[in-house]
Structure 1
Amino acid sequence: MSQQQVTNNTTEWKCSKLLIKQKPVKGLIDSGLTKIPKIFVRPSEDLAQELTYKNIQVQVPVIDLSGILDADWRKQIVEQVRIASETWGFFQVVNHGIPPTVLDGMIDGIRKFNEMDVEEKRRYYSRDYTRRVRFISNFDLFASKTANWRDTMNISFPDQIDSEKLPASCRYLFEHFIYKTILK
């Protein structure tokens, strides 16, 4: 085995170990990585089919919610969501009524969360899908060939908000977003 292979294998092993030990992507960067570890790089054969479509113009489905309060329009909107979800798996929503200041506040809240001390963030790290607030890195780490280079904050309060479960660094911003969008 060459020195390069040993170095790559050691880096991959450390990287996998860090991910499993609740070290999010930002933690990997902070640990001194200078190159994207191979564990995050999709093999070229997986990308080959995607590359053959590079000249095709793609338009992400856009769903306009401005008529959501009208029963007839709502049926059409629900159908658009169904089609976009089945066909694309995602879509863009416009005229949703969420003020830009609230959206900017959520982005700021997530930024503040990601800048928190690693130990503080670790309190929220969990692969337990029943937790109302959880921070996770590489949701499919043990199922896919390559790891996802992303961290995710998931907040789920279907009935009421328990403010104490929200991270202090972004609690107010999250509450404001939830009240403006869900509990309006």
Structure 2
Amino acid sequence: MFVSSTDEVSVTPKTDHDRASELKAFDDTKAGVKGLVDAGVTKIPRIFYQPPDEFEKASALDKKISIPVIDLEGLFKDTAIRNGIVDRVREASETCGFFQVINHCIPVSVLEEMNNGIHRFYELDTEVKKEFYTLDHMKAVVYNSNFDLYSAPATNWRDTFMCYMAPNPPNPEDLPVVCRDILQEYSKLVMKLGILLFELLSEALGLNPDHLKDIGCAEGLLALGHYYPTCPEPELTLGTSKHADNDFLTVLLQHHIGGLQVLHKNRWIDPGALVVNIGDVLQLISNDRFVSVEH
């Protein structure tokens, strides 16, 4: 997310016909935002202009507030330690909707290679990436700029690669060679972490540890790799508009500190590292005990 004020920026809307034409022209390139950057644009297309009110809260980043950090060390060794971890998960899920996890058993080398693998994909020749470009989310592997390109009020300054890795993963040969192996390895480890997190969340709700898993919360995994290239006019756009996630749970791996920002008590905070996000569906099935917050 780009953090910048647009108090002095006047955005003049164009007609629906103009916007539709610009969207189609951008879509037809199949090169995404990176294609614009590679072409050396110094002015961003108007389709990326965000309404000024989108920046009001985004410009007030509070670095003094941080989300909870939960250490999973000793989870299986001592009942008292596990109970303490469950208590911290409960508090974070009820008050913040986000928490960072450490000692989660996913090696740093795997996290780094996952980031590198996604970066390698975006560095592929445009003609190679075009083979994966689609707005059809039923495809095994999807690469595009904005999934809601033709319906969103403003286009975000980002590109996205995604694929469903569970319960029915794509054939390995359908995955890009440059990130095929790490996608499979990382997905297996994240699925294990996800099952563990759902156990802790179940206990935090006073339920059997397998409750959320048994009702299907841990069956699917959608791997998303967002790419936010440098923007020549960051005061006009955002990498991702403010939103909440319409799912059970999201595990976020950031390439660097300063990417994701969480709206907590009307303040934007920068959580960093491996972050867990309560989704809308989990808020619903927990009867609003857990909160899904905007970020």
Answer whether TM exceeds 0.5 for this pair: yes
Identify the match of residue 79 of structure 1 among 70, 73, 90.
Answer: 90
Distance 1:178 1:153 in 2: 14
- Structure 1 residue 105 and structure 2 residue 116: aligned? no
Cα separation, partners in 2 of 1:157 and 1:55, compared to 1, 3 Å: closer
Q: Which residue number corresponds to residue 131 of structure 2? A: 123
Offset of residue 35 of structure 1: 2.4
Amino acid at match of 1:19: F
**1:37-67, Cα deviation, whole Å (9 max, x unpaired):** 332232323323544x456843234344446
Local SS of the residue matching 1:170: helix
Aligned residues: CA RMSD: 3.4
The aligned amino acid for 1:45 is D
Q: Which amino acid in the other structure matches residue 124 of structure 2?
A: M
Q: Is the 8 A contact 2:70 2:89 kept in 1?
A: no
Report the alpha carbon displacement of residue 32 of structure 1 after superposing the two structures with TM. Answer: 3.3
Aligned to 1:19: 26
Distance 2:184 2:146 in 1: 26
Pick one of 140, 146, 158 that aligns with 1:138: 146
- The one-letter code sitting in structure 1 at the alignment partner of 2:130 is R
Q: Is the 8 A contact 2:134 2:142 kept in 1?
A: yes
Specify whether residues 93 and 183 from structure 1 end up closer, same or farther in structure 2 by C-alpha distance, changes over 3 A only.
closer
Cα distance, 1:118 vs. partner?
Answer: 1.3
TM-score (norm: length of structure 1): 0.71
Letter in 2 for 1:111: H
1:59 to 2:66 alignment: yes
| 1:174 equivalenced with 2:183 (yes/no) | yes
Shift of the 159–55 alpha-carbon distance from structure 1 to 2, 3 Å rule, reads closer
CA distance in 2, matches of 1:78, 1:42: 35
**AA at the equivalent of 1:109:** G
**Residue 29 of structure 1: which of 30, 37, 47 is its match?**
37
| Unaligned segments of structure 1, at least 5 residues | 1-7
**2:173 match:** 164
1:120-173 C-alpha deviation (Å, 9 max, x unpaired): 212222222233321221223233322111111112221364211210122122
With over 3 angstroms needed to count, the CA separation of the structure-2 counterparts of 1:128 and 1:182, relative to structure 1, is same
Give, in angstroms, the shift of residue 114 of structure 1.
0.6
Distance 2:167 2:178 in 1: 23
User: What is the alpha-carbon distance in structure 2 between the residues aligned to residue 20 and residue 159 of structure 1?
Assistant: 30
Cα gap change, 1:98/1:128 in structure 2, threshold over 3 Å: closer, same or farther?
Answer: same
Q: Which has the higher contact order (CA 8 A, sep 6+)?
A: 2
| Structure-1 separation of matches of 2:109 and 2:70 | 21
Aligned counterparts of 2:62 and 2:187: Cα–Cα separation in 1: 40
Tell me which amino acid in the other structure corresponds to 1:40: F
Amino acid in structure 1 at the alignment position of 2:111: L
Deviation of 1:181 (Å): 3.7
Counterpart in the other structure of 2:271: none
2:163 — aligned with what? 155
CA contact (8 A) 2:71 2:85 kept: no
Give the number of equivalent residue pairs.
Answer: 172
Contact 2:117-2:178 at 8 Å conserved across structures:
yes
SS in 2 for 1:134: strand
Taking the aligned partners of 1:181 and 1:129, their CA distance within structure 2 comes to 22
